[in-house]
Amino acid sequence: MEISINKNQVARICLILASVILLFFGILHLHGTFFSTDLYPSDLGLIEKLKTATIQMDESGIIWKLWIGFNAMFSVGLIFIGSVNLYLSTKHFEFIRGNNPILTLTICSNIFFVWIGNRYMISDFAISMAIPLIFFAIGYLIIQLKRLTT
């Protein structure tokens, strides 16, 4: 009995998994930004200082509001990247399979997320971004290898 593996299906599953993971972490981060204190400093006195401190560029730029805003924008970015790739992977796989720039930009974005996570953030974040990166890279490599062999 011979088991036949459809490489397109494996690539598609990898892209779907990676997209779902990004979407999940984007939603989780958005929840952490607006509906919990997970992203708050442990020093509660520091929060009060951040609510009155401003940036030098513009005194209307209050550090605490900027912190919330940057986290919200990051969340929406993850949700967007995950949603677009999920939609394309499930509904228009042939398009994404034949369109290298989309997957290349997605992989580059994930590489940047992992780098930022390692350099400036917590290790859990870097790991949570490395997992979809691996799945996107595997899917991309399968697509490229299949293209070379056909």
Which of 99, 92, 127 has the alpha carbon at shortest distance from 113? 127
- Please write the tens of the pLDDT for every residue from 74-125: 999 999 999 999 999 999 999 998 888 999 999 999 999 999 999 999 999 9
Top-confidence range, 4-13, 37-46, 77-86: 77-86
pLDDT exceeds cutoff 90 at 1: no
The residues with which 62 forms a beta bridge, in sequence order, are 54
Q: Where are the domains of the chain?
A: 9-149
* DSSP bridge pairs for 54: 62
| Residue among 108, 99, 119, 100 at smallest CA distance from 81 | 108
